[in-house]
Amino acid sequence: MPSVTFEHVTKRFGDATVIEDFDLQVADGELLVLVGGSGSGKSTILRMLAGLETVTSGRIRIDDRDVTDLAPRDRDVAMVFQDYGLYPHMTVRDNLSLGLRLRKIPRHEIDRRVAWAAGMLGLEPLLDRKPKALSGGQRQRVAMGRAMVREPKVFLFDEPLSNLDAGLRAQMRIEIGSLQDRLKTTTVYVTHDQVEAMTLGDRIVVLADGRIQQIGRPIELYRTPVNRFVAGFIGTPAMNFIEGTLAADGGRMFFSAEAARLKMRAGTAESSEPITLGIRPEDLRMDFIPQQPTHGSADFDTLTGRVVLVERLGGTSHVHFQVGPHRLMASVASDSLPEVGHDITAHVPAARVHLFGGDGRAIGRTAEIV
Amino acid sequence: MKLLRRIALYAGLTVAAITFIYPFLWMASSTFKPPVEVGSLALIPHDFTLDNYRTMWARAPFGRALVNSTFVATTITLAVLVFGSMTAYAMARLNFRGRPALNAATIAVLMVPGQLTLIPLYTLIVQLGWVDTYAALIVPYLFNATAILMLRQFFLQIPQSLIDSARMDGMSEPRILFTIFWPLSKPVLSIVAIFTFMGAWNEVLWPLLVVREQNLMTLPQLLTVFALGGGAGSVGVSLASAMVLVVPVVAAYAFLQRNFIESMAGSGIKG
């Protein structure tokens, strides 16, 4: 039985339609991540589920109970906010227990739950402090504890890590993941950070302009993006794109663009529309010694370019290079790197190439799912 | 050079401070002087006496006026804080049809001078039969546009996530206002309280219009009637009655001022 169901949910603010005809089912115990840029409507969806925004039309159900018109307090959901939303004038203990006190939960039960959450999150020594005296990570934990003590049907996270520095963010990400593993509470998690989405989500929903672009397991989104938006959004560093056309030549399909001609996988359909070729930086293999010019290469599986920038990240490095008018990037091991200004060839495995039509939709399935 | 400038600065400030504080101290000390001494500029009475206060108390019901004033000013202040913050909360944080119009109307109210509404208001009070009642002194002041706008401005800065958290925790809107917003709004509440209290406490014209019965008169009203009517008889007695008027306001200010500083320093919501 699905834990959360959106049915044809639409949200308008005045004349602006933010969410249109949104359908979604979240399975019981699942951690579902809503990811998208700003203005994609991800937070609005979460706030509608929480009851903090009204729904213009459509229904929302939690465990088959229609909660569309219920107040937030009656929905059995708990939420963790981006800026934590802790009451600054109350101690950690009061912040944790307030929601329970307001629900008239017996004192001993409140104490038990506060102790349980504090133990789980390492908050015991902080219970009598006020939020002002806590670090960002500690505040984040208190906010999570406040949601946990409620023992709700559904957890909602609204960009909970975006106010933390990079190191702490990585650590809290792991904590949230393992916490959800232990609690097995259905969770809807909103973020703009696709790394969070990839690492945390059982499934990911990619949103743009209030519409679902793709739903799937993280690896599905990475390997078989259904459109150019998802391809560019999921994966770090972002996918390279080259605009061009497809044409048949001697029984094989070739992708042609200025300064680039690449042989496509067998079975690629012909298309007269403009085509965007996508290739992930980690799928490019690089040789430093200039071989034959691309057009002369018998296999038509390489691009020739000049290195314009090398970003050394440690184990791997990002090599930016220019192929005609196209700026591309390859993610390679740092053992032996080209210098800026050197010519290189980049091997483009046909099986790893993604093709997108004029409307941005993926054409065929060029990469075998391994 | 730096030291000299510092000395000059402090000397200037000291002179300025004395200029402000001296008349007040002189008034305070003169209330304890016998009539012959009142003319002197000295701050320490030569012959300390409480006669001025005794005379004042004997000639007019100042005790009663003090009670009236305290009751009226306190009621008005509490009402302005409660109703004002409720209105401000709605205007700042709730979405409803007509909110921009309400904002505009509140600002428009500020542009109407009080003297303009004095006569219509008086007529209204007469028609309601409220002349010589506490209602006449209190009801017209229950709402205050300045207070609403000050509170609204402050409430706008409180993070939305606090309201969201409170709603998820199951609080009603009034509860959010009084248990979340109020503790965070001490600075602005203090300022509104002190201005409202002082305004209500010092009001003379309105009580003169709607109250004629001596038992209902407020302190400044009775003082005006007393001093202008020649009831005081001597400067010392006039000053003593003025002192009774001023002390509660100064005390209220001193009390709330500490609160200002405390809450200004402690209002770290984020960081």
| Structural domains of chain A ordered from first start | 2-226 (3.40.50.300), 237-356 (2.40.50.100)
Question: B168–A86: do the CB atoms touch at under 8 Å?
Answer: no
Phi, psi of A255 (to 5 degrees): -95, 125
- Give the lowest-confidence range in A50-59, A60-69, A230-239, A282-291: A282-291
Q: Which of B161, B168, B268 sits opposite A82 (nearest CB)?
A: B161
Nearest C-alpha neighbor of B176 from the set A102, A75, A103, A107: A102
- Altogether, the residues listed in chain B come to a count of 271
Q: How far apart are CA A332 and CA A347, in angstroms?
A: 12
Interface test with B, best of A11, A79, A149, A157 (most B CBs within 10 A): A79
Locate A207 and state its tokens: 């949103």
| Phi and psi angles of residue A45, each rounded to the nearest 5 degrees, phi first | -60, -45
3-state secondary structure of B42: coil
The verdict on ipTM greater than 0.85 is no
Which is higher by pLDDT, B266 or A185? A185
Residue A35 φ/ψ, nearest 5 degrees: -130, 145
* The residue type at A9: V
What pLDDT is stored for residue A156 in this prediction? 96
Q: Verify cis geometry, omega within 30 degrees of 0, for the bond prior to A237.
A: yes
What are the structure tokens assigned to B139, written together?
């009801």
Chain B touched by A86 (CB under 8 Å): yes
Round to whole Å and give the CA distance between A159 and A26: 18
Residue B270's pLDDT is: 40
Is residue A48 predicted with pLDDT exceeding 70?
yes
Q: What are the tens digits of pLDDT across the range A142-164?
A: 999 999 999 999 999 999 998 88
Q: CB A78 to CB B171 under 8 A?
A: no
Q: So what's the pLDDT on residue B271? A: 35
Q: What is the pLDDT of residue B102?
A: 92
The shortest CB-CB distance from B170 to any of A47, A86, A103 is to A103
Share of chain A above pLDDT 70, in %: 95
Instruction: Give the pLDDT confidence score for residue A147 in this predicted structure.
Output: 94
- Inter-chain contact B169–A73, Cβ cutoff 8 Å? yes
Structure tokens at B28: 């305070």
pLDDT at A363 over 60: yes
Average pLDDT of chain A is 90
Nearest to B165 among A71, A81, A132 (CB): A81
Domains (range + CATH), chain B:
31-265 (1.10.3720.10)
Band of pLDDT at residue A336, cut at 50, 70 and 90: confident
A50/A153 Cα distance (integer angstroms): 12
State the sign of the Cα–Cα–Cα–Cα dihedral A95, A162, A24, A185. Answer: negative
Give me the residue from A50, A87, A88 closest to B168, CB to CB.
Answer: A50
How much is the average pLDDT of A48-68? 95
pLDDT band at A290 (very low <50, low <70, confident <90, very high): low
Closest chain B residue by Cα to residue A51: B168
For A67-126, write each residue's pLDDT tens digit: 999 999 999 999 999 999 999 999 999 999 999 999 999 999 999 999 999 998 999 999
Least confident of A34-38, A266-270, B228-232: B228-232
Q: Would you say residue A319 has pLDDT above 70?
A: yes
Looking at residue A366, what is its pLDDT?
Answer: 44
Contacts of B133 (CB under 8 A, 6+ apart): B216
Q: Which amino acid is at A158?
A: D
Q: What is the pLDDT along chain B (271 residues), one digit of tens a residue?
A: 789 999 999 999 999 999 999 998 999 999 998 888 888 888 888 888 998 888 888 888 888 998 999 999 999 999 999 999 999 999 999 989 999 999 999 999 989 888 888 999 999 999 999 999 999 999 999 999 999 999 999 999 999 999 999 999 999 999 999 999 999 998 899 889 988 998 999 999 999 999 999 899 999 998 888 877 776 678 888 888 888 888 887 887 787 776 666 555 444 444 3
CB contact under 8 A, B170 and A79: no
Residues of chain A contacting residue B93, judged by C-beta atoms under 8 Å apart: none
Evaluate whether B184 touches B158 at the Cβ level (below 8 Å). yes
CA distance A25 to A62: 10
Q: What average pLDDT does the segment A123-131 reach?
A: 94
Please name every residue paired with A326 in a beta bridge, in sequence order, or none if there are none.
Answer: A323
Match 């349980």 to its residue by tokens: A116
Residue-level pLDDT at B250: 83
> What pLDDT, on the 0 to 100 scale, is given for residue A153?
93
pLDDT value of residue B260: 60
Least confident of A34-43, A263-272, A286-295: A286-295
How far apart CA B64 and CA B71 sit, in angstroms, is 11
Interface size A-B, in CB pairs within 8 Å, comes to: 58
pLDDT reported for residue A370:
35
Mean pLDDT of A331-345: 88
Judge whether A16 is closer than 8 Å to chain B, CB to CB: no
Helix (H, G, I), strand (E, B) or coil at A30: coil
